[in-house]
Structure 1
Amino acid sequence: MVNASGVFNVDTWDEDPYDQREGAKLARVRVGKTFQGGLEGTSTTDIITVVSADDAPLAYSGIERFTGTASGRRGSFVLQHTATAGPGGEGELAWRIVTGTGTGELTGIRGEGRIDIAPDGTHSYALEYELG
C-alpha cells in the first residue's frame, strides 16, 4: 500500500440550492480543487449537500474525478465521497477510489482515505492505495 498525503485548495464552489424546506437545505455543488503533496493535480467534484437551517453542514455525498499524478504516476481516477457532521462540527469525510476508474499509469488503482479540515480552513487529505 502507498500512503499519499498533502493539502488541497478549493478553487471553485458553485452551489445550486434545490430544496430549502424547514429543517435542512439541499444543494447540488460543483467543486474545483488543486492538490499538492502525494497527489499533484486537479479535480472536479459534484456533491449533494445537506445543511441545517443555521447553515451548519450535516452531510454530503459525491463523485470526484482526479487528474494528475499519484506518487509520480500520471493518470486519473474517480473518488466516491461520504461525509457526516455532528452538532459540534466533528465528523467524518471519507473517500473510496471507484474500482475500474484508473487510467494511464494509475490503471488498476484502488484504495480509500479521508479529508480533514483544520480550524483555519486548511483542507488536508490522506489516501492509502495500491495498484493492481
Structure 2
Amino acid sequence: MSTARGTFNVVMTPVTAEMEGAVSRFDFTKTFLGDLEATGMGVMLSCGNPQVGEAGYVAIETVRGRIGEREGGFALQQLGRMHRGSQTLHYEVVPGSGRGAFDGIVGTFHLTIEEDGTHRYELAYEL
C-alpha cells in the first residue's frame, strides 16, 4: 500500500435544492497540493440540520492529476454523518474509476481539518 499526503482547498457552491427543498445540493471544486497534485470536481447532497449537529451527506467527485510520475484520474466517494456531537466520515476510491496511470487503483482517503481551516489528506492506495 502506498500513501500520498498533502493539503487541499475546496470551493463549495450551493445550487438548486432537490426533492422540493428537502435535500441541499452543492457543486464543489478542489485543488490538491503535496504528493497528489490534482484538481477535483464533485457533487454533494445533504439532508438534516447541520447547524444543530444532526445531518448526513453523500458526495462523489472526479480527480485528475498526478502522483509522482503517474498521471491520470480516479473518483472518490464520501458518506458523512453528524449525530449527537459525533461525526463519522467514510471516504474511498471508487473501484473501477481509475484512468491512465491510475487504472486499477483502490484505496481510502482520510481528511482532517485543522483549527485554522487547513484541509489535510492522506490517500492510502494500491495499483
Please say whether Structure 1 and Structure 2 have the same fold, judged by a TM-score greater than 0.5: yes
* Percentage identity across paired residues of the two chains: 33
Shift of 1:98: 1.1
Distance 1:68 1:57 in 2: 35
Quick check: 1:127 aligned with 2:123?
A: yes
Runs of 4+ in 1 over 6 A off after TM superposition: none
1:87 and 1:123, CA in 2 relative to 1: closer, same or farther beyond 3 A? farther
5+ residue gaps, structure 1, are: none
Pick closer, same or farther for the CA change 1:99–1:54 going to 2, 3 Å.
closer
How far off its partner does 1:120 sit? 1.9
- Aligned-partner residue type, residue 60 of structure 1: Y
CA RMSD of aligned residues (A): 2.2
User: 1:57 and 1:125 mapped to 2: Cα distance?
Assistant: 24
Q: 1:56 to 1:109 in 2, by over 3 A?
A: same
Residue 2 of structure 1 corresponds to which residue in structure 2? 2
Q: Does 1:111 align with 2:107?
A: yes
CA distance in 2, matches of 1:40, 1:103: 15
Q: TM-score, normalised by structure 1?
A: 0.82
Q: TM-score, normalised by structure 2?
A: 0.85
In structure 1, the partner of 2:43 is 46
- 8 Å Cα contact 1:41-1:67 kept in structure 2: yes
Secondary structure of the residue aligned to 1:106 is coil
CA distance in 2, matches of 1:65, 1:115: 16
Tell me, in whole angstroms, the C-alpha distance in 2 between the residues paired with 1:100 and 1:13: 26
Deviation string for 1:56-76 (max 9, x for gaps)?
A: 572211111000012431000
> Cα–Cα, structure 1 residues 19 and 67, in superposed 2: closer, same or farther, change >3 Å?
same
Equivalents in 1 of 2:27, 2:39: separation in Å? Answer: 13
Q: Are 1:86 and 2:83 counterparts? A: yes
